[in-house]
Structure 1
Amino acid sequence: MCLAETLPMTFSYAPTLLQDFPELVSSTRHVADVRASGDVSRLVQPFCDLAARRLDGRSESDLPEIQAWRRAFSKMGLKPTQYRCASEALLRRFRKEGSLPSIHPLVDLCNGISLAFAIPIAVFDLDKVRGGLQVRHAAGTESYETFAGEIEHPEPGEVIFADEAGQAHARRWTNRQSGLSAIRPQTDRILIVAEAMHETAGEDMARLGEALDGALREVGLIFK
């Protein structure tokens, strides 16, 4: 497996979205030649321990990273307690159950880091993405495949991850990814996207990137 420094496709944000959310800070990684085997629990556990310490005596909704996404969801016209960003949903489940289910080594690793930093991390199967991927407002004609295989159409104006074929790979921005580009045992190429909006997002994203790169190297990844 290898961690590439450049993306094999275009990833971008619509200018109008950046105008509405100038506080957004994001970071991407492209992982190629992925292996689905391997135990990453040793690497994931320290991140879970950090999340547990941050949650000690308080709720995930008290964290500044989550509060920033709640404000963003409200700005998009969504109820923050009805539609949660991915990191809040993970933290909420972790707080209640004390652990997260194992899905795929790289997904498990990204989920652990997302827990520790309270920052949403999306992981896409690049072989399911057609052309460039852009975070933008939906026209309402795009197709979104649920994990159950059903096809939905995002509401016009909803923030989605859309490719050039009109496939929506995530709905309500960081709320829910598509089953179409979900990571599977046969997945070979992965795009990782981390996004934050809180006051110290820049420095925290840099630390997240260092943690992610270090963990990926630990499981046998190298830079091209």
Structure 2
Amino acid sequence: MTIARSRTRARRDLRLAVAAVALVACAPREAPQAPEPTPPAPTASAPPAPGTEPAPAPPDPTAAQPQPGPIEPSPAADNPTRPGATSPSVGDAARKPSKTWPFVAWDRAEAFTFNHVPYGPGVPLRVYDATNGWSPEIAERKPISPAQAGRAVEWVVATRGALEVSKCAFPRHAVVLFAGDTPVGSVNVCFECGDILVWPEFEPPASGPTAERRHRQQMKAYKRVFPEWERFFRDDLGLPLTPLAQP
């Protein structure tokens, strides 16, 4: 009987144990949670090399850009001059030289009548020269064409400049060559005595046999050229060769 009770108690304990195991096995389980990631350890930046300055920060694209200032006008804009005009501040050395009389490049010319006064001492014999400037006795002036001025230069070259054939030169007709507004040469013709005076000189004066030979060459050219001067002033320019009678 004692053995039977022991067996019964053992079976009961076994059933309790099995039931307990079943309860544990059937109980709901929580899902395992993933471990939180561990943040990486900060990487220490390498220190700059000794003596090396850190690179400058890039410019801010939103920053205002400097605006260009007003353009300053050139000094020449304050003193405009017409083409070919010689500036008052430009000296003779700045003019372009020429191999042909008047030995300075010219760009225009004018014809003159002057000295419609009685012959007398102190009256300038050239309408313009570097010593006396302009004659105070200018009666008329008119522009002439480059071709006409070129012919006047050719006649001066042909006679090798001035040629005095009398003792009483008193020119009343002239051609003046200009570089801009500056006179650079004048040829002055006297139709009463036949003399031709020029400024500047065509060549230095000669003496002895050289002067005699030169004079013969000049006279030969003069006989051909002087009638050209007469036709030039009288026919081409319409200027009388003799002055009007004084009242």
TM over 0.5: no
* TM-score normalised by length of structure 1: 0.25
Query: Looking at CA atoms only, which structure, 1 or 2, has the larger radius of gyration?
Result: 2
* TM-score normalised by length of structure 2: 0.23
Greater strand share, 1 or 2? Answer: 1
Greater helix share, 1 or 2? Answer: 1
